[in-house]
Amino acid sequence: MTPSVDEFAHEAREFLGSLTRDRGDVTATKPVKSRYALFSGSTDDELAAALDYQRAIFDAGFGWIAGPVEDGGAGLPPQYERAFAKVERGFPIPSKGPLSVSLGMVAPTLAQFGSPEAKSKWLKGLRRADVVGCQLFSEPAAGSDLAAVRTKATRENADGDWTLNGQKVWTSGAHYSQVGIALTRTSDGPRHKNLTAFAVDMTAPGVEVRPLRQITGAADFNEVFLTDVVVPDAHRLGEVGAGWQVAIAMLMHERNAIGGSSSGGSGLFRMDDLAAWISDLGRGDDPVVVEAFAKVYSGVTSAKAMRARADANLKANGVPGPEMSLGKLALTANLQALSDLVSVVLGPRLIGDTGAPQSFAWSELVLSVPGMRIGGGTDEIHRNTVAERFLGLPKDKQKYTQTPMTQTSSDADK
């Protein structure tokens, strides 16, 4: 018998309470953060904690609540998933950051486009975190213009395996992933109709992962080289030549995952905690601080309402839509507002490591916020998506012209 949402939430609360009490690495109190950052990289301990936690909640029936029973899910309606997420925010659980791409992008894309063989091989493992996934999209010459990927997939005959050759870059988590979803060029046909997507075994011969060391010392991103990597046709996602549809769907899943952070899912926008911190510093009566706080508060509140509408659309259609781009834009705006707030509150203490709690700890976030205008798709691309696919505005039909120094082509035929 299916429990009610309230009964389900009670069971989740009881489970998470026992889980956090039993684990020595998770305390019942909120720790004071030593740093706030967006691109900090995941330590081995953080990855291990995320994997252990996901496996524990999966085995208890909370790891894939709305997933089909035949694929390993609990088969419950989406509102049960939202109820669990709400309960979860009340407990000091490990960060899910190391698994954000795997659970938020790779798993739903594989579920949507994967063959029965591919889903049988990877899907349950992804949801239980026995397998971690990454996104093999961006290339040195194909970032925002994703349709320009040059990684090639070829095969000797119509029924044979595929051989992949090329380079991917800025691949989050590739160094601890076992499967990657790769967008490849499979023909010289018309733009957007010459691409095919594959699930690639990251442990296969010919796959080389090289971490990209950041100025912070972390290495959250990687470049991935594919040299004569053999991929079975059963691991192809979607039809041959229909990779652009798979890519768009995966990007929508990405924006769905990112958009949740704009309304507080990241933990950075806990307004009660921010208010208490400001009060402890004696800045609560400063009108400039009050105005900056109000801007963050109103942005997060608006994002929650927008997120609710996006979730309703997801429930109705089964897949994320172009409105997910609004979530990404909201996240960028809210992070900038938060950066402005902590800068106003702390002043010079933001850049001087005096040892005072929650002061210098914010500096890395302030420096990394501009990067979010690029990560997950540039803000400019998202604005185009909102304008053309959400508001129905006409596409730009202007053709670029060739000059002696440059030769570019229009994307007006997208």
Amino acid identity of residue 328, one-letter, is K
DSSP string, 376-408: TS-HHHHHHHIIIIIS-PPPP-PPP---SS---
| Cβ-contact 164, 195 below 8 angstroms | no
139 flagged as catalytic: no
The maximal CA–CA distance of the chain, rounded, in angstroms, is 73
User: What is the CA 161 to chain-centroid distance, rounded?
Assistant: 30
CA atoms within 13 A on the CB side of 57: 26
User: 254, 291, 323, 364: which one is catalytic?
Assistant: 254
CA atoms of 315 and 240, how far apart (whole Å)? 29
Helices assigned H by DSSP within 74-225: 78-88, 100-101, 107-113, 116-128
CA atoms of 113 and 239, how far apart (whole Å)? 9
Among the listed residues 393, 258, 245, the one whose alpha carbon sits nearest the alpha carbon of residue 334? 258
Tokens of 410: 């229009």
DSSP string, 228-292: EEEE-GGGEESSTTBHHHHHHHHHHHHHHHHHHIIIIITSTT-HHHHHHHHHHTT-TT-HHHHHH
CA atoms of 297 and 291, how far apart (whole Å)? 10
* Positions marked catalytic: 254
